Amino acid sequence: MEKNQSTFAVIETGGKQYKVAEGDIITIEKLDGEFNEGDTITFDKVLLTDKNGSTTVGAPYVGGATVTSELVFQGKGKKINGIRFRAKSRYTRRFGHRQHEMKVKIKSIA
């Protein structure tokens, strides 16, 4: 599949916005529900589409626009280390966190 740079969309998922084009692989927050690698995921919260210079802006979403993707990876991200420290009280606490994430490959923008 040839990547067409003149066609892109802006989608909303997990409280964040992503600019996507066909063939892109993006990392998003884990979605609710059971998914397996290779499953098709459809995003219907499309904020903007641009096809060959023809831009459509939603208010807040573009009606009838969808972005179809395929699940490539599902797991945990890199470890983030944190520390809490209180001066003069002998209090130190270290902790780590790994966020659940998904990697999806954009198949089509309609």
- What are the two backbone dihedrals, phi and then psi, of residue 58, each rounded to the nearest 5 degrees? -85, 165
Please write the tens of the pLDDT for every residue from 52-71: 889 999 999 999 999 999 99
Range of the domain at 66: 7-109
Q: In what order do the strands lie in the sheet with 7-13?
A: 16-21, 7-13, 46-51, 54-57
Looking at the domain assignment, is residue 97 inside a domain?
yes
* 2 domain-assigned: no
pLDDT at 5 over 80: no
pLDDT of residue 87 exceeding 60, the answer is yes
Is pLDDT at 3 greater than 90 in this prediction?
no
Domains contained in the chain, number: 1
Considering the domain boundaries, does residue 1 fall inside one?
A: no
Among 36, 61, 38, 41, smallest CA distance to 49 is for: 61
| Structural domain contains residue 44 | yes
Q: Does any domain span residue 37?
A: yes
